[in-house]
Structure 1
Amino acid sequence: MSGHEELVVLLDDDGRAIGTHPKATVHHDRTPLHLAFSCYLLDADDRLLLTRRAGTKKTWPGVWTNTCCGHPGPGETVGAAVERRLHDELGLAVVDLRLALPGFRYRAVMADGTVENEICPVLVGRCRHPGDLDPDPEEVGATEWVPFEDLRRDVLSGAREVSPWCRQQLDQLPDHPGSAPPATDPLPPAARA
């Protein structure tokens, strides 16, 4: 998005678009509700690509989380946003992308008062070529392939710390998300294309 100001889609409580705001300034102590996504990328052995957010990120710097998070731009589908961010942040392509938690919503507050406030559909996909992994250091501080079941157990038991949204999502995802059928619930209106 070089040369372009990245915009996020602002939402009302029913998930309808009500405007846009520059991503660079949307997160603060009164962050408005906006559209996002979370992606969980699995390999052929059902290992999840876990990422640690770069230390320079505005929200939850240095914290381990799911594979990739981001914001669909105005007019961009959630699937296209996932593909864009996986390529840009990790150098990876996704196959068999499935909607797992269409209406996931959360609000979390950092110790400094910065708020995340998102309707955040959750998608699960398979990594086409795991060997292509090439993290962008401005986005990703570290990566680790972790058996999904082990990660879920450790996070939910409190043995492993992750981002607040990742913990909530792991609590709601099925035991074997890579083989689960796609969710049938509708996406929020702003995320439909």
Structure 2
Amino acid sequence: MTAPAEEELVVLLSEDGQRIGVAPKASVHGAHTPLHLAFSAYLFDGQGRLLLTRRALDKATFPGVWTNSVCGHPAPGERLVDAVRRRAADELGLRVTGLRLVLPRFAYRAEMDGIVERELCPVLVGRVDEQPRPDPTEVAAAEWLEWPTFVRQVRDGRAISVWCRQQVEQLDRLGPRPEDWPTADVGLLPPALA
């Protein structure tokens, strides 16, 4: 299937993370979303603060929801770190350095207003040394928070995306200091990223 150059494609996956095809992003998110490849990234500044973002109010999926720094979908054949850098630049006007994989096999299912997300979603951490310049069609707001403060807020019921809540639970088990989290083995990534 050939898609127009501006149409974003996502990688469709089998339950064990093998690539089984591609589809236009706009066509996969609905009531019966197929499993597909994604990523989440947590970006920290030089002071160790986490960048949180609020999804634009008119996004098709999870509009207006606060979440981690940046999320997205690797394009077919795109390296995971390149996808993170691309989305951070497009959505936030940021250049990301020091990207590290920390949760190679994170997976989740979430639903809001009849739209389902169903993703294998490796989680990375990285560093940014500038203030975000959000694209308003992607990001409605951004804020910086100390990691322990954010974890405490999530535990206390802060409204946050389903995937971010689940990721924070797993990241918190890695230790209290993000800079000390162990780098995961890339061999544990879904086979579609090999």
Deviation string 1:82-117 (CA, Å, 9 cap, x unpaired) is 00000000010111100010000000111x221000
Letter in 2 for 1:130: E
Identify the residue that residue 113 of structure 1 maps to in structure 2: 114
For residues 86 and 114 of structure 1, the distance between their equivalents in structure 2, rounded to whole angstroms, comes to 24
**1:130 and 2:152 matched:** no
For residues 32 and 179 of structure 2, the distance between their equivalents in structure 1, rounded to whole angstroms, comes to 36
Identify the residue that residue 170 of structure 1 maps to in structure 2: 168
Q: 1:34-49 to 2 correspondence within 5 Å?
A: 34-49=36-51
For residues 109 and 4 of structure 1, the distance between their equivalents in structure 2, rounded to whole angstroms, comes to 27
SS of residue matched to 2:178: coil
Shift, 1:130, TM fit: 1.7
- Percentage identity across aligned positions? 58
| Runs of 4+ residues over 4 Å off in structure 1 | none
Identify the residue that residue 67 of structure 1 maps to in structure 2: 69
Q: CA RMSD in A?
A: 1.2
Contact 1:98 1:123 in 2 (8 A): yes
Deviation string 1:54-74 (CA, Å, 9 cap, x unpaired) is 001111100100000000000
For residues 177 and 99 of structure 1, the distance between their equivalents in structure 2, rounded to whole angstroms, comes to 12
For residues 51 and 149 of structure 1, the distance between their equivalents in structure 2, rounded to whole angstroms, comes to 17
Unaligned runs of 5+ in 1: none
Letter in 2 for 1:60: F
For residues 157 and 103 of structure 1, the distance between their equivalents in structure 2, rounded to whole angstroms, comes to 26
Q: 1:95-110 to 2 correspondence within 5 Å?
A: 95-110=97-112
Contact 1:42 1:178 in 2 (8 A): no
Contact 1:57 1:139 in 2 (8 A): yes
Q: 1:146-185 to 2 correspondence within 5 Å?
A: 146-158=145-157, 160-173=158-171, 174=174, 175-184=176-185
Which residue, out of 83, 88, 91, partners 2:90? 88
Greater shift after overlay, 174-183 or 21-30?
174-183
Shift, 1:181, TM fit: 2.5
How many aligned residue pairs are there?
Answer: 187
Identify the residue that residue 35 of structure 2 maps to in structure 1: 33
Letter in 2 for 1:118: E
Letter in 2 for 1:171: E
For residues 65 and 12 of structure 1, the distance between their equivalents in structure 2, rounded to whole angstroms, comes to 26
For residues 153 and 13 of structure 2, the distance between their equivalents in structure 1, rounded to whole angstroms, comes to 33
Letter in 2 for 1:64: W
For residues 179 and 67 of structure 2, the distance between their equivalents in structure 1, rounded to whole angstroms, comes to 18
TM-score (norm 2): 0.93
SS of residue matched to 1:130: coil
